[in-house]
Amino acid sequence: MPSTKFFQSTRKIIGAGVNYKEILRLTNAPKPDAPVIFFKPISTLLDGTTNAGASAGPTIRVPRIFGGTINFEAELGVIIGRRCANVSPDQAMSYVGGYCLALDMTGMDFILDARPKGLPWCLGKGFDTSTPVSALLAPAALPEPDNVRVWCDVNGVRKQDDSTRNLIFPIGELIAYVSRFMTLEENDLLLTGTPAGAGPVRAGDVIECGLGDGLVTMRCTVADE
């Protein structure tokens, strides 16, 4: 079973993109045939439990190369509890060791430039401090992970608020799909996607996000590199 500080021994961070139904509705985009998967290096991890009682919280740094802004994306994170490969969606949930709240900070301008050119956009996801994570939630603390609110405020204004029941590919399907391509190991982190409403932040902004009604929250400040 992963420890509370699971991220100290995480080996892979796997993200799912475009995974909320509302995003498809707003963009008039077709449903993907399969999950859209990307990777983030473990050097992006930021301990969101640091100074949890302080008003400032941990600091997210905006790389100079991104011109002063990055996007916030609040997400439910899934921590793998034991090694798994080629599992079915029905089996997949038995490999979950816990859950966390996460922010997938993104250099969106970089990604929007790279995508039309057919170029990789991992650098827009891979900068230091771009993956703040909360402490581990045991599975018993989140008995309905496919029906939990994910919300995010910026400077006290609600920007994101949706439920994981509106995921295009739910947790079990994401784990099963990824496990067909690679072995998932204990403490690997799977980011399940962000609700509609993600947008830019800059130095001085305060991000507060959470799961459910006070189940777990994180407060981060944004600063220039």
- pLDDT tens digits, 134-160: 989 999 999 999 999 999 999 999 999
Indicate if the pLDDT at residue 66 is higher than 70: yes
Average pLDDT over residues 30-50: 93
Calculate the CA dihedral of residues 83, 84, 85, 87 and round it to 10 degrees. Answer: 180
What is the percent of the chain where pLDDT is above 90? 85
DSSP secondary structure string for all residues of 39-52: EE-GGGEEETTTTT
Q: What is the pLDDT of residues 168-179, one digit of tens each?
A: 999 999 999 999
Is residue 108 helix, strand or coil?
A: helix
What is the percent of the chain where pLDDT is above 70? 95
What is the C-alpha to C-alpha distance for residues 119 and 150, in angstroms, rounded to an integer? 30
| Confidence band, pLDDT 50/70/90 cuts, at residue 120 | confident
| Confidence band, pLDDT 50/70/90 cuts, at residue 54 | very low
| Confidence band, pLDDT 50/70/90 cuts, at residue 185 | very high
Beta bridge partners of 150: 162, 211
Comparing 111-115, 121-125, 131-135, which segment has the lowest mean pLDDT? 111-115
Report the pLDDT value the prediction gives residue 1, as an integer from 0 to 100.
56
Report the pLDDT value the prediction gives residue 55, as an integer from 0 to 100.
52
Average pLDDT over residues 79-88: 97
Report the pLDDT value the prediction gives residue 161, as an integer from 0 to 100.
98
Superfamily classification of domain 6-224: Fumarylacetoacetase-like, C-terminal domain (3.90.850.10)
What is the C-alpha to C-alpha distance for residues 160 and 225, in angstroms, rounded to an integer? 26
Average pLDDT over residues 199-212: 97
Indicate if the pLDDT at residue 197 is higher than 50: yes
| Confidence band, pLDDT 50/70/90 cuts, at residue 63 | very high
What is the C-alpha to C-alpha distance for residues 23 and 32, in angstroms, rounded to an integer? 12
What is the C-alpha to C-alpha distance for residues 87 and 6, in angstroms, rounded to an integer? 22
Average pLDDT over residues 67-71: 96
Report the pLDDT value the prediction gives residue 56, as an integer from 0 to 100.
58
Report the pLDDT value the prediction gives residue 141, as an integer from 0 to 100.
94
Contact between residue 103 and residue 209 where contact means Cβ atoms under 8 Å apart: yes
Chain centroid to CA 180: 21
Is this structure's pTM higher than 0.85? yes
Indicate if the pLDDT at residue 3 is higher than 80: no
Report the pLDDT value the prediction gives residue 50, as an integer from 0 to 100.
61
